[in-house]
Amino acid sequence: MKWMKFRIKTITEAEDVIVSTLYDIGLEGAQIEDKVPLTTAEKEQMFVDILPDGPADDGIAYLSFFVEEKENGLLEVAGEDKTSEQLLAEIREELSGLQEFMDIGEGTVSVDETEDIDWINNWKQYFHQFTIDDILVIPSWEEAEPENEGRLVLHIDPGTAFGTGMHDTTQLCIRALRKYITKDTVLLDVGTGSGILAILSLMFGAKKAIGTDLDICAVDAVRENKEANGIPEDSFELLIGNIITDKEVQDQVGYECYDIVVANILAEVLVPLTPVIVHQLKKGGIYITSGIIDDKEETVAAAVRAAGLTVLDIQHQGEWVSVVARKE
């Protein structure tokens, strides 16, 4: 399919107002480009631990709206067919109205036709089957290569939720899980994403898994990956919410009922998570953490010890670290 892209040059302070205003005329899903530094909350929902320094915020923002172009060249917006010229005129009229009572910067609009892209599935060209020790991780659109015969097969499609198993931190967690899981293991996976760690834990023999995540995208990803790997519905439950700050989520997850808690998250999140999650662990339970860049190893280890846990093992892979501890 073809898309028309309407790109507005504005200022960061006007982003929300413009997005809301144009939503009212049928434009949805704005792509926002600016140099505003990420907030702490945004960083907590990202997988990277250390972000590269970006350019200084210059106050300029670009808002892009994409509208599907039909075969007859018309654009369907809010159920109505319009030409690109008509829609452009409407956008300019709305921006002109905003300029009467607030600063929106230049407020200029450019229009381009994009190439034919499947926005949801385009990422698949970058994800191919690979191995982690004796595990073959393979997406649904590929067939297993002959040399991988006999491996434990994990079918994983991350979609819009994080988690393919390619990252060093995920592999550190997988190896730790394999070491500690038994047939009686009840596991909690904090920040489950695609569900890869919980699903593999069940494949390793765990009895039950609970996952939590902040991102609603995890719901579909977990459901699809459970189905792809034949995981029974009642053996892996997903809860959406912030277990660090939300008492209701903590209560739903339950207290002192997990043999293993695994958290492959940012070091900055692991520090406040640890004194909370210790209450979910059984006595003797294992706490597996990763997502820790090497120079933050002692920060996480100290938080683990401060929560009353005993550090059992610290493993490294590349620049990343996994800290494993036990609740005494």
Strand pairing class (258-264; 281-293): parallel
Tokens representing 308 are: 């009353």
Amino acid at 120: I
Q: Tell whether residue 220 is among the known ligand binding residues.
A: no
How remote is the C-alpha of 222 from its chain's centroid?
12
Residue 170 among known ligand-binding residues: yes
Instruction: Give the integer Cα–Cα distance in Å for 236 and 199.
Output: 8
Please provide the DSSP assignment of 7-23 as one string: EEEEEGGGHHHHHHHHH
Element (H, E) at 85: helix 84-99
Q: How far is CA 108 from the centre of its chain?
A: 33
- Do 200 and 135 contact (CB within 8 A), yes or no? yes
CA distance 35 to 39: 12
Quick one: which of 171, 175, 198, 172 has its CA closest to 185?
198
Binding residues for S-adenosyl-L-methionine are: 170, 191, 213, 264
- What are the binding residues? 170, 191, 213, 264
